[in-house]
């Protein structure tokens, strides 16, 4: 015998809209309570002549359980990433004021102070050309052609003056090295020693960046060594 259906057994358009509205009850798209309400309403309003199969009912519950588990896992991963970020920020703060050895040739110098860099020459070089550029404008500040170098680490030095011997202001500079070997020219990667001024989190690379000159940031992964 089919029971009498009361008006409350049907879900009105207002109730349906309230359940579908993400901001009606909470910020979640579909919470546990909302899902159970929808499922109960579906069971209440199903056709007595064609009820929902047990398999379909179990499948819906399993699907919701899987989605809820994935959301819980995502929340746990976000908490873990947030904790790792905080740990890296605390570790990065300890680098402020220290000098780090980095690849790329970036450094703060000028005003007559001695700035140093180094390059690795596995096969030596017939000649080395040292160049210093303003990192902001890209202008060539200083260039010097040096003699031959043997295999191994070769040091580079700049006295904080331009090619005419005039003092240049304190600022952010880039040191590069051109190497000539057996008639062929190539660029050698310069490693410089620079002081860390600040640290910040880079959301694109998901790692810390170190400010080693005014407005010049390098990734923490590029640091080769740290000195006091």
66-124 confidence digits (pLDDT tens)? 766 676 677 666 666 665 666 777 777 888 888 888 888 988 899 999 999 999 999 99
Instruction: Provide the domain limits for residue 141.
Output: 99-227
Cα-based distances in Å from 43 to 36, 57, 154, 212: 10, 9, 79, 65
- What length does the chain have? 228
% of the chain beyond a pLDDT of 70: 65
Q: Are residues 214 and 165 in the same domain?
A: yes
Q: Are residues 69 and 143 in the same domain?
A: no
CA neighbor of 41 nearest in space, from 52, 26, 27, 53 = 52
pTM of the model: 0.57
Q: Are residues 160 and 85 in the same domain?
A: no
Q: Are residues 106 and 58 in the same domain?
A: no
5 vs 44: CA distance, rounded Å: 9
Please state, rounded to an integer, the average pLDDT across all residues of the chain: 78
Q: Are residues 113 and 128 in the same domain?
A: yes
Q: What is the DSSP string of 134-176?
A: ETTT--EEEEEEE--B-SEEEEEEE-SB-TTS-B--SEEEEEE
Residue 1 falls within a domain, yes or no?
A: no
Cα angle at 26 between 20 and 27, to 5 degrees? 90
CA neighbor of 113 nearest in space, from 76, 68, 167, 154 = 167
Q: Are residues 76 and 125 in the same domain?
A: no
> Domain holding 128: CATH number?
2.60.40.4070
pLDDT in tens, 140-180: 999 999 889 999 999 999 999 999 999 999 998 999 999 99
Total domains in the chain come to 2
Cα-based distances in Å from 154 to 8, 187, 225: 86, 14, 17
Task: State residue 67's pLDDT score.
Answer: 66
100 vs 217: CA distance, rounded Å: 13
């Amino acid at each position: 015998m089919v029971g009498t259906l009361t008006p409350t057994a049907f879900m009105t358009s207002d109730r349906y809209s309230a359940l579908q509205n993400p901001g009606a009850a909470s910020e979640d798209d579909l919470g546990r309570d909302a899902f159970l309400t929808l499922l109960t309403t579906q069971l209440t309003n199903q056709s007595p002549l064609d009820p929902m199969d047990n398999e379909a009912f179990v499948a819906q519950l399993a699907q919701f359980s899987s989605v809820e588990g994935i959301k819980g896992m995502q929340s746990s991963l976000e908490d873990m990433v947030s904790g790792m970020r905080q740990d890296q920020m605390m570790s990065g703060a300890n680098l402020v004021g220290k000098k780090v050895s980095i690849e790329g040739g970036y450094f703060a110098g000028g005003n007559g102070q001695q700035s140093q860099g180094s390059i690795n020459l596995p096969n030596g070089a017939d000649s080395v050309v040292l160049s210093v550029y303003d990192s902001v404008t890209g202008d060539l500040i200083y260039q010097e052609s040096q003699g031959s170098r043997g295999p191994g680490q070769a040091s580079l030095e700049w006295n904080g003056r331009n090619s005419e011997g005039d003092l240049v202001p304190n600022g952010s500079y880039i040191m590069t090295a051109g190497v000539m070997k057996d008639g062929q020219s190539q660029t050698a990667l310069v490693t410089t020693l620079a002081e860390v001024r600040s640290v910040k989190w880079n959301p694109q690379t998901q790692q810390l960046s170190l400010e080693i000159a005014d407005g010049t940031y390098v990734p923490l992964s590029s640091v080769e060594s740290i000195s006091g």
